[in-house]
Amino acid sequence: MRKKLYLLCGIDSERKLIVDLLAILFGIGSWLGINSVYVQLPLLVGDAPEGWNLPSYLVVIIQLGNVGPLLYTAALRLKWFRDSYLIVALLVIGSCAAMTTAFVYDQTVHVFGADRSVPLFITVFGLSLVGCTSSVLFMPYMGRFKGIYLITYLIGEGFSGFVPSIVALIQGVGGNGECVLVNGTDPNEPPVYTSYTPPPRFGTRPYFIVSSVILAVSTVAFLLLDRLTVCRREYAAVSIGNGNNYAYEPSTPGDEDTRSQSADTVSQKGKAALDRTHYLLLLVLISVLCLFGNGFFPSIQSYSCLPYGNVAYHLTVTLSSMANPAACFLAFFVQKNSIRSIVALSALVVPFAAYALTTAITSPDPPLMHHVLGDILVVACWTLLVGLVSYIRLTITTLLRCEGGQTLVWVGVATQLGSLVGSILSFTLVNFTDTFQQYYPC
Protein backbone atom coordinates (compact mmCIF):
# COMPACT_ATOMS: atom_id res chain seq x y z
CA MET A 1 0.00 0.00 0.00
CA ARG A 2 2.81 2.41 0.92
CA LYS A 3 4.66 1.65 -2.32
CA LYS A 4 1.51 2.34 -4.35
CA LEU A 5 1.05 5.66 -2.55
CA TYR A 6 4.69 6.62 -3.19
CA LEU A 7 4.33 5.65 -6.84
CA LEU A 8 1.17 7.74 -7.16
CA CYS A 9 2.99 10.77 -5.68
CA GLY A 10 6.08 10.20 -7.82
CA ILE A 11 8.25 9.35 -4.80
CA ASP A 12 10.86 6.60 -4.75
CA SER A 13 9.46 3.86 -2.49
CA GLU A 14 12.99 2.89 -1.39
CA ARG A 15 13.71 6.21 0.30
CA LYS A 16 13.27 6.84 4.00
CA LEU A 17 11.03 9.83 4.67
CA ILE A 18 12.62 10.38 8.10
CA VAL A 19 15.94 10.95 6.31
CA ASP A 20 14.22 13.32 3.88
CA LEU A 21 12.71 15.30 6.75
CA LEU A 22 15.98 15.56 8.66
CA ALA A 23 17.89 16.49 5.49
CA ILE A 24 15.41 19.29 4.78
CA LEU A 25 15.65 20.64 8.34
CA PHE A 26 19.44 20.40 8.14
CA GLY A 27 19.47 22.26 4.81
CA ILE A 28 17.27 25.02 6.20
CA GLY A 29 20.03 25.91 8.66
CA SER A 30 22.61 26.52 5.93
CA TRP A 31 21.64 30.01 4.74
CA LEU A 32 18.66 30.83 6.97
CA GLY A 33 20.59 33.37 9.04
CA ILE A 34 21.84 35.32 6.03
CA ASN A 35 18.49 35.11 4.24
CA SER A 36 16.81 36.43 7.38
CA VAL A 37 19.03 39.50 7.17
CA TYR A 38 18.29 39.98 3.47
CA VAL A 39 14.51 39.85 3.81
CA GLN A 40 14.71 42.39 6.65
CA LEU A 41 16.58 44.89 4.47
CA PRO A 42 13.40 46.82 3.53
CA LEU A 43 13.12 47.67 7.24
CA LEU A 44 16.82 47.92 8.07
CA VAL A 45 17.82 50.37 5.32
CA GLY A 46 15.35 52.95 6.59
CA ASP A 47 17.04 53.34 9.98
CA ALA A 48 20.64 52.27 9.38
CA PRO A 49 23.19 55.10 9.03
CA GLU A 50 24.41 53.46 5.80
CA GLY A 51 20.98 53.88 4.21
CA TRP A 52 20.62 52.31 0.76
CA ASN A 53 24.31 51.40 0.81
CA LEU A 54 23.72 48.94 3.67
CA PRO A 55 23.25 45.91 1.34
CA SER A 56 26.65 46.53 -0.27
CA TYR A 57 28.31 46.58 3.17
CA LEU A 58 26.53 43.40 4.23
CA VAL A 59 27.50 41.56 1.05
CA VAL A 60 31.17 42.24 1.76
CA ILE A 61 30.77 41.24 5.42
CA ILE A 62 29.15 38.00 4.30
CA GLN A 63 32.08 37.23 2.01
CA LEU A 64 34.45 37.63 4.96
CA GLY A 65 32.75 34.49 6.22
CA ASN A 66 34.91 32.63 3.70
CA VAL A 67 37.45 32.35 6.50
CA GLY A 68 35.26 29.42 7.55
CA PRO A 69 36.17 27.26 4.53
CA LEU A 70 39.84 28.14 5.08
CA LEU A 71 39.67 26.98 8.69
CA TYR A 72 37.88 23.84 7.55
CA THR A 73 40.67 23.07 5.06
CA ALA A 74 43.25 23.48 7.82
CA ALA A 75 41.24 21.30 10.21
CA LEU A 76 41.26 18.41 7.73
CA ARG A 77 44.96 17.96 8.49
CA LEU A 78 44.08 16.91 12.03
CA LYS A 79 43.62 13.15 12.33
CA TRP A 80 41.03 13.44 15.08
CA PHE A 81 38.92 15.94 13.14
CA ARG A 82 35.39 14.96 12.14
CA ASP A 83 33.27 17.14 9.87
CA SER A 84 30.20 16.49 12.03
CA TYR A 85 31.87 18.31 14.95
CA LEU A 86 32.36 21.46 12.88
CA ILE A 87 28.82 21.34 11.49
CA VAL A 88 27.33 21.26 14.99
CA ALA A 89 29.62 24.10 16.13
CA LEU A 90 28.64 26.25 13.15
CA LEU A 91 24.90 25.71 13.62
CA VAL A 92 25.22 26.64 17.30
CA ILE A 93 27.17 29.79 16.35
CA GLY A 94 24.47 30.66 13.83
CA SER A 95 21.67 30.27 16.36
CA CYS A 96 23.50 32.45 18.90
CA ALA A 97 24.34 35.09 16.27
CA ALA A 98 20.69 35.31 15.18
CA MET A 99 19.56 35.74 18.78
CA THR A 100 22.18 38.46 19.33
CA THR A 101 21.09 40.25 16.13
CA ALA A 102 17.61 40.58 17.60
CA PHE A 103 18.97 42.89 20.30
CA VAL A 104 21.76 44.81 18.52
CA TYR A 105 20.51 45.33 14.94
CA ASP A 106 19.70 49.01 15.61
CA GLN A 107 22.84 49.83 17.63
CA THR A 108 25.58 52.00 16.11
CA VAL A 109 29.22 52.81 16.85
CA HIS A 110 31.05 56.00 15.87
CA VAL A 111 33.88 54.89 13.58
CA PHE A 112 36.10 57.05 11.35
CA GLY A 113 33.99 60.14 11.90
CA ALA A 114 30.60 58.55 11.20
CA ASP A 115 28.06 56.26 12.83
CA ARG A 116 28.21 52.68 11.56
CA SER A 117 26.12 49.57 12.22
CA VAL A 118 29.12 47.74 13.69
CA PRO A 119 27.14 45.41 16.04
CA LEU A 120 24.99 44.31 13.10
CA PHE A 121 28.11 43.72 10.99
CA ILE A 122 29.60 41.49 13.71
CA THR A 123 26.50 39.32 14.09
CA VAL A 124 26.08 39.07 10.31
CA PHE A 125 29.68 37.85 10.13
CA GLY A 126 28.77 35.08 12.59
CA LEU A 127 25.81 34.12 10.40
CA SER A 128 27.98 34.24 7.28
CA LEU A 129 30.38 31.68 8.77
CA VAL A 130 27.53 29.18 8.65
CA GLY A 131 26.44 30.00 5.11
CA CYS A 132 29.87 30.24 3.49
CA THR A 133 31.19 27.10 5.14
CA SER A 134 28.03 25.17 4.26
CA SER A 135 29.00 25.38 0.59
CA VAL A 136 32.14 23.27 1.20
CA LEU A 137 30.97 21.30 4.24
CA PHE A 138 27.20 20.75 4.50
CA MET A 139 26.55 19.84 0.87
CA PRO A 140 29.58 17.52 0.54
CA TYR A 141 28.51 15.85 3.80
CA MET A 142 25.17 14.96 2.17
CA GLY A 143 27.08 13.50 -0.78
CA ARG A 144 27.78 10.39 1.29
CA PHE A 145 24.06 9.59 1.24
CA LYS A 146 22.23 8.11 -1.74
CA GLY A 147 21.75 10.56 -4.59
CA ILE A 148 18.03 10.99 -3.91
CA TYR A 149 18.83 12.74 -0.63
CA LEU A 150 21.15 15.38 -2.10
CA ILE A 151 18.22 17.01 -3.90
CA THR A 152 16.21 16.75 -0.67
CA TYR A 153 18.97 18.63 1.16
CA LEU A 154 19.06 21.27 -1.59
CA ILE A 155 15.29 21.69 -1.22
CA GLY A 156 15.94 22.34 2.46
CA GLU A 157 18.68 24.79 1.52
CA GLY A 158 16.12 26.53 -0.65
CA PHE A 159 13.69 26.61 2.25
CA SER A 160 16.34 28.58 4.15
CA GLY A 161 15.09 31.48 2.03
CA PHE A 162 11.44 30.44 1.87
CA VAL A 163 10.84 30.21 5.63
CA PRO A 164 12.19 33.72 6.44
CA SER A 165 10.13 35.06 3.52
CA ILE A 166 6.91 33.59 4.90
CA VAL A 167 7.61 35.21 8.26
CA ALA A 168 8.43 38.48 6.49
CA LEU A 169 5.16 38.40 4.52
CA ILE A 170 3.28 37.98 7.78
CA GLN A 171 5.34 40.80 9.28
CA GLY A 172 4.69 43.18 6.38
CA VAL A 173 6.59 46.36 5.66
CA GLY A 174 3.96 48.88 6.77
CA GLY A 175 3.50 50.59 3.42
CA ASN A 176 5.18 53.08 1.13
CA GLY A 177 6.81 56.21 2.47
CA GLU A 178 4.69 59.36 2.63
CA CYS A 179 5.64 63.03 2.77
CA VAL A 180 4.30 64.57 5.98
CA LEU A 181 4.23 68.31 6.77
CA VAL A 182 6.21 68.96 9.97
CA ASN A 183 6.36 72.74 10.47
CA GLY A 184 2.74 73.55 11.21
CA THR A 185 0.48 75.91 9.30
CA ASP A 186 2.33 79.23 9.63
CA PRO A 187 1.92 80.91 6.20
CA ASN A 188 5.10 82.95 6.75
CA GLU A 189 7.34 79.86 6.87
CA PRO A 190 8.18 77.68 3.88
CA PRO A 191 6.68 74.19 4.19
CA VAL A 192 8.98 71.47 5.49
CA TYR A 193 8.23 67.81 4.78
CA THR A 194 9.63 64.57 6.09
CA SER A 195 9.23 61.00 4.93
CA TYR A 196 7.02 58.76 7.07
CA THR A 197 6.62 55.00 6.66
CA PRO A 198 3.86 53.13 8.54
CA PRO A 199 5.23 50.47 10.93
CA PRO A 200 5.03 46.69 10.19
CA ARG A 201 2.84 44.26 12.14
CA PHE A 202 5.79 43.32 14.35
CA GLY A 203 9.36 44.49 14.58
CA THR A 204 12.77 43.13 13.64
CA ARG A 205 13.53 41.80 17.14
CA PRO A 206 10.81 39.08 17.21
CA TYR A 207 11.77 38.21 13.64
CA PHE A 208 15.36 37.33 14.51
CA ILE A 209 14.28 35.47 17.66
CA VAL A 210 12.19 33.20 15.43
CA SER A 211 15.21 32.73 13.14
CA SER A 212 17.35 31.70 16.12
CA VAL A 213 14.81 29.06 17.17
CA ILE A 214 14.69 27.61 13.64
CA LEU A 215 18.50 27.35 13.58
CA ALA A 216 18.37 25.49 16.89
CA VAL A 217 15.88 23.03 15.36
CA SER A 218 18.25 22.57 12.40
CA THR A 219 21.07 21.72 14.83
CA VAL A 220 18.99 18.98 16.46
CA ALA A 221 17.99 17.64 13.03
CA PHE A 222 21.63 17.27 12.00
CA LEU A 223 22.54 15.47 15.21
CA LEU A 224 19.80 12.94 14.49
CA LEU A 225 20.81 12.67 10.81
CA ASP A 226 24.41 11.96 11.82
CA ARG A 227 23.70 9.53 14.66
CA LEU A 228 20.53 7.56 13.90
CA THR A 229 21.10 4.06 12.54
CA VAL A 230 18.20 4.36 10.11
CA CYS A 231 19.96 7.35 8.54
CA ARG A 232 23.36 5.67 8.27
CA ARG A 233 21.74 2.80 6.42
CA GLU A 234 20.93 5.28 3.65
CA TYR A 235 24.60 5.94 2.86
CA ALA A 236 25.62 5.28 -0.72
CA ALA A 237 28.35 2.71 -1.42
CA VAL A 238 31.25 5.01 -0.70
CA SER A 239 34.72 4.80 0.77
CA ILE A 240 34.86 7.56 3.41
CA GLY A 241 38.17 9.03 4.52
CA ASN A 242 38.87 11.99 6.76
CA GLY A 243 36.38 14.84 6.56
CA ASN A 244 34.56 14.81 3.23
CA ASN A 245 37.28 12.90 1.44
CA TYR A 246 35.27 10.04 -0.04
CA ALA A 247 34.79 8.36 -3.42
CA TYR A 248 31.95 6.31 -4.86
CA GLU A 249 32.52 2.66 -5.59
CA PRO A 250 32.29 1.54 -9.23
CA SER A 251 28.60 0.58 -9.04
CA THR A 252 26.54 2.44 -6.47
CA PRO A 253 23.00 1.13 -5.90
CA GLY A 254 20.40 3.87 -5.80
CA ASP A 255 22.55 6.39 -7.63
CA GLU A 256 21.68 5.44 -11.19
CA ASP A 257 18.80 7.93 -11.41
CA THR A 258 21.05 10.79 -10.43
CA ARG A 259 23.87 9.75 -12.70
CA SER A 260 21.53 9.50 -15.70
CA GLN A 261 20.58 13.15 -15.45
CA SER A 262 23.15 14.21 -18.01
CA ALA A 263 22.56 12.44 -21.31
CA ASP A 264 25.58 14.20 -22.72
CA THR A 265 28.00 12.88 -20.15
CA VAL A 266 26.90 9.39 -19.28
CA SER A 267 28.48 6.38 -20.89
CA GLN A 268 26.50 3.48 -22.33
CA LYS A 269 27.08 1.48 -19.16
CA GLY A 270 25.37 4.15 -17.02
CA LYS A 271 28.48 5.41 -15.27
CA ALA A 272 29.01 9.17 -15.06
CA ALA A 273 32.06 10.37 -16.98
CA LEU A 274 32.37 14.14 -17.31
CA ASP A 275 35.27 15.08 -19.52
CA ARG A 276 37.66 17.79 -18.37
CA THR A 277 36.21 20.48 -20.66
CA HIS A 278 32.64 20.01 -19.43
CA TYR A 279 33.86 19.69 -15.84
CA LEU A 280 35.65 23.06 -15.99
CA LEU A 281 32.77 24.64 -17.93
CA LEU A 282 30.30 23.77 -15.18
CA LEU A 283 32.61 25.06 -12.44
CA VAL A 284 33.19 28.36 -14.29
CA LEU A 285 29.48 28.72 -15.02
CA ILE A 286 28.43 28.22 -11.40
CA SER A 287 31.10 30.69 -10.33
CA VAL A 288 29.80 33.33 -12.77
CA LEU A 289 26.21 32.75 -11.68
CA CYS A 290 27.21 33.24 -8.04
CA LEU A 291 29.23 36.35 -8.95
CA PHE A 292 26.02 38.03 -10.05
CA GLY A 293 23.41 36.12 -8.05
CA ASN A 294 25.14 36.17 -4.65
CA GLY A 295 27.63 39.04 -4.89
CA PHE A 296 26.60 41.77 -7.31
CA PHE A 297 22.81 41.89 -7.62
CA PRO A 298 21.93 41.73 -3.90
CA SER A 299 23.98 44.93 -3.41
CA ILE A 300 22.04 46.90 -6.04
CA GLN A 301 18.58 45.50 -5.32
CA SER A 302 17.66 48.47 -3.15
CA TYR A 303 18.46 50.88 -5.99
CA SER A 304 16.45 48.76 -8.42
CA CYS A 305 13.33 48.36 -6.27
CA LEU A 306 13.03 51.16 -3.68
CA PRO A 307 12.16 53.88 -6.23
CA TYR A 308 8.98 51.86 -6.87
CA GLY A 309 8.17 51.96 -3.14
CA ASN A 310 8.74 49.98 0.04
CA VAL A 311 5.98 47.52 -0.83
CA ALA A 312 7.57 46.65 -4.18
CA TYR A 313 10.96 46.22 -2.49
CA HIS A 314 9.44 44.06 0.23
CA LEU A 315 7.62 41.82 -2.27
CA THR A 316 10.74 41.54 -4.43
CA VAL A 317 12.91 40.40 -1.52
CA THR A 318 10.40 37.92 -0.14
CA LEU A 319 9.16 36.44 -3.43
CA SER A 320 12.68 36.11 -4.86
CA SER A 321 13.67 34.24 -1.70
CA MET A 322 10.70 31.92 -2.28
CA ALA A 323 11.83 31.34 -5.88
CA ASN A 324 14.89 29.45 -4.61
CA PRO A 325 13.02 26.55 -2.96
CA ALA A 326 10.48 26.57 -5.80
CA ALA A 327 13.31 25.95 -8.26
CA CYS A 328 14.74 23.18 -6.07
CA PHE A 329 11.30 21.59 -5.76
CA LEU A 330 10.96 21.64 -9.55
CA ALA A 331 14.31 19.88 -9.88
CA PHE A 332 12.95 17.18 -7.57
CA PHE A 333 10.60 16.08 -10.38
CA VAL A 334 12.74 16.87 -13.44
CA GLN A 335 14.73 13.68 -13.89
CA LYS A 336 16.92 14.55 -16.87
CA ASN A 337 19.24 17.50 -17.29
CA SER A 338 22.10 18.03 -19.71
CA ILE A 339 24.91 20.49 -20.23
CA ARG A 340 23.08 21.78 -23.30
CA SER A 341 19.95 22.61 -21.29
CA ILE A 342 22.06 24.28 -18.58
CA VAL A 343 23.72 26.55 -21.14
CA ALA A 344 20.32 27.39 -22.68
CA LEU A 345 18.86 28.33 -19.29
CA SER A 346 21.94 30.42 -18.53
CA ALA A 347 21.30 32.40 -21.72
CA LEU A 348 17.70 32.92 -20.58
CA VAL A 349 19.00 34.62 -17.42
CA VAL A 350 20.58 37.45 -19.45
CA PRO A 351 17.44 39.54 -20.29
CA PHE A 352 16.18 39.43 -16.70
CA ALA A 353 19.61 40.42 -15.38
CA ALA A 354 19.78 43.24 -17.91
CA TYR A 355 16.41 44.67 -16.84
CA ALA A 356 17.32 44.46 -13.13
CA LEU A 357 20.59 46.26 -13.83
CA THR A 358 18.83 48.90 -15.95
CA THR A 359 16.36 49.77 -13.19
CA ALA A 360 19.23 50.12 -10.70
CA ILE A 361 21.39 52.31 -12.95
CA THR A 362 18.48 54.61 -13.88
CA SER A 363 17.58 55.18 -10.19
CA PRO A 364 16.14 57.52 -8.92
CA ASP A 365 13.94 57.60 -12.05
CA PRO A 366 13.68 54.02 -13.38
CA PRO A 367 11.33 52.93 -16.18
CA LEU A 368 7.57 53.02 -15.45
CA MET A 369 8.07 54.59 -12.05
CA HIS A 370 4.75 55.46 -10.30
CA HIS A 371 2.95 52.94 -12.54
CA VAL A 372 1.48 49.65 -11.38
CA LEU A 373 3.01 47.96 -14.43
CA GLY A 374 6.46 49.11 -13.33
CA ASP A 375 5.95 47.58 -9.88
CA ILE A 376 4.79 44.29 -11.39
CA LEU A 377 7.69 44.13 -13.85
CA VAL A 378 10.42 44.78 -11.28
CA VAL A 379 8.99 42.22 -8.82
CA ALA A 380 8.51 39.59 -11.54
CA CYS A 381 11.95 40.24 -13.03
CA TRP A 382 13.80 39.74 -9.76
CA THR A 383 11.73 36.69 -8.81
CA LEU A 384 12.35 34.93 -12.14
CA LEU A 385 16.02 35.94 -12.10
CA VAL A 386 16.64 34.38 -8.69
CA GLY A 387 14.57 31.31 -9.58
CA LEU A 388 16.51 30.63 -12.76
CA VAL A 389 19.89 31.09 -11.09
CA SER A 390 18.87 28.76 -8.26
CA TYR A 391 17.65 26.06 -10.64
CA ILE A 392 20.79 26.19 -12.78
CA ARG A 393 23.04 25.98 -9.71
CA LEU A 394 21.14 22.93 -8.48
CA THR A 395 21.36 21.09 -11.82
CA ILE A 396 25.09 21.79 -12.05
CA THR A 397 25.60 20.51 -8.50
CA THR A 398 23.61 17.37 -9.25
CA LEU A 399 25.68 16.58 -12.33
CA LEU A 400 28.98 17.15 -10.55
CA ARG A 401 27.99 15.08 -7.51
CA CYS A 402 28.89 11.84 -9.32
CA GLU A 403 32.54 12.90 -9.39
CA GLY A 404 32.89 12.33 -5.63
CA GLY A 405 33.09 14.32 -2.40
CA GLN A 406 36.08 16.46 -3.35
CA THR A 407 34.24 17.69 -6.45
CA LEU A 408 31.42 19.02 -4.28
CA VAL A 409 34.07 20.84 -2.26
CA TRP A 410 35.32 22.42 -5.50
CA VAL A 411 31.73 23.39 -6.32
CA GLY A 412 31.61 25.20 -2.98
CA VAL A 413 34.96 26.90 -3.69
CA ALA A 414 33.74 28.09 -7.10
CA THR A 415 30.52 29.32 -5.51
CA GLN A 416 32.27 31.36 -2.84
CA LEU A 417 34.97 32.68 -5.17
CA GLY A 418 32.39 34.04 -7.60
CA SER A 419 30.39 35.55 -4.75
CA LEU A 420 33.52 37.24 -3.36
CA VAL A 421 34.44 38.85 -6.68
CA GLY A 422 30.86 40.04 -7.17
CA SER A 423 30.66 41.58 -3.70
CA ILE A 424 33.94 43.50 -4.14
CA LEU A 425 32.78 44.78 -7.54
CA SER A 426 29.40 45.91 -6.25
CA PHE A 427 30.82 47.50 -3.08
CA THR A 428 33.23 49.55 -5.17
CA LEU A 429 30.57 50.72 -7.63
CA VAL A 430 27.98 51.52 -4.96
CA ASN A 431 30.21 53.35 -2.47
CA PHE A 432 32.95 54.95 -4.58
CA THR A 433 31.19 55.92 -7.81
CA ASP A 434 28.02 57.76 -8.80
CA THR A 435 26.67 54.84 -10.82
CA PHE A 436 23.74 54.25 -8.47
CA GLN A 437 21.69 57.15 -7.06
CA GLN A 438 19.29 57.08 -4.11
CA TYR A 439 15.67 58.17 -4.47
CA TYR A 440 14.23 60.65 -1.97
CA PRO A 441 10.41 60.78 -1.80
CA CYS A 442 10.34 64.31 -0.31
pLDDT at 266: 35
Question: Do residues 240 and 246 lie in contact, with contact meaning Cβ atoms separated by under 8 Å?
Answer: yes
Listed as ranges, residues in the chain with pLDDT below 50 are 1-2, 4-10, 251-272
pLDDT at 212: 95
Question: What CATH architecture is 275-441?
Answer: Up-down Bundle (1.20)
CATH no. of 13-173+203-247: 1.20.1250.20
pLDDT at 182: 67
Q: State the Cα–Cα distance between residues 201 and 295, nearest whole angstrom.
A: 31
pLDDT at 9: 43
Q: State the Cα–Cα distance between residues 362 and 108, nearest whole angstrom.
A: 31
Question: Do residues 336 and 263 lie in contact, with contact meaning Cβ atoms separated by under 8 Å?
Answer: yes
Identify which of 352, 414, 407 has the alpha carbon closest to the alpha carbon of residue 383: 352
3-state DSSP call for residue 226?
A: helix
H/E element holding 157? helix 147-171
Q: State the Cα–Cα distance between residues 313 and 419, nearest whole angstrom.
A: 22
Structural domain boundaries in the chain: 13-173+203-247, 275-441
DSSP string, 99-144: HHHHHHTT--EEETTEEE-HHHHHHHHHHHHHHHHHTTTHHHHHTT
Q: State the Cα–Cα distance between residues 86 and 391, nearest whole angstrom.
A: 28
pLDDT at 375: 92
Written as one letter, the residue type at 92 is V
pLDDT at 260: 40
Matching fold, domains 13-173+203-247 and 275-441: yes
DSSP string, 272-322: B---HHHHHHHHHHHHHHHIIIIIIHHHHHHHHHGGG-HHHHHHHHHHHHH
pLDDT at 193: 63
Identify which of 62, 43, 178 has the alpha carbon closest to the alpha carbon of residue 129: 62
Q: State the Cα–Cα distance between residues 324 and 385, nearest whole angstrom.
A: 10
Per-residue pLDDT of 351-380, as tens digits, reads 999 999 999 999 888 998 888 999 999 999
Give the number of C-alpha atoms closer than 13 A to the C-alpha of residue 379, restricted to the C-beta side. Answer: 18
